[in-house]
Amino acid sequence: MRRLASAPNLLIATLWADTLRAAGIEARVFSRYLSSIAGEIPPHEAEPAVWVLDEADFERARRLLHELRSPPRLPEWICSGCGERHPAQFAACWNCGAARSP
Ligand SMILES: [Zn+2]
């Protein structure tokens, strides 16, 4: 059994473990009930941690978790008015003010 990562809270730890299990990796959340005594022990000890039961799954689990933690990358768009490139979250061109073109 190997510790994969600590999560900021139990909800996220459970989500990670569920996602790993859905991918066929046996995972458990520990430190489940420690948050009630946070303050008496170092904070990182109180955080729930996800553990992978089978060492052989560890690398795959680590990659899956990495994907889970990084937001999906949306494609850039290019303004039809001036050719400026924009990250996906912008709805209008900051350069010429044109609305985003599909
Ligand atoms: Zn533009």
pLDDT in tens, the chain (102 residues): 999 999 988 889 999 999 999 999 999 998 755 555 555 655 555 688 999 999 999 999 999 999 888 877 788 999 999 999 998 888 999 999 999 866
Q: How far is the CA of 97 from the centre of ligand 1 (A)?
A: 6
101 in Cβ contact with 79 (< 8 Å): yes
Map out the domains of the chain with their CATH numbers.
Answer: 2-69 (3.30.70), 73-102 (no CATH)
Q: How far is the CA of 89 from the centre of ligand 1 (A)?
A: 15
**CA distance linking residue 55 with residue 61, whole number of Å:** 10
Q: How far is the CA of 94 from the centre of ligand 1 (A)?
A: 7
Q: How far is the CA of 73 from the centre of ligand 1 (A)?
A: 22
CA 37 remoteness from chain centre: 26
Q: How far is the CA of 3 from the centre of ligand 1 (A)?
A: 48
**CA distance linking residue 70 with residue 79, whole number of Å:** 26
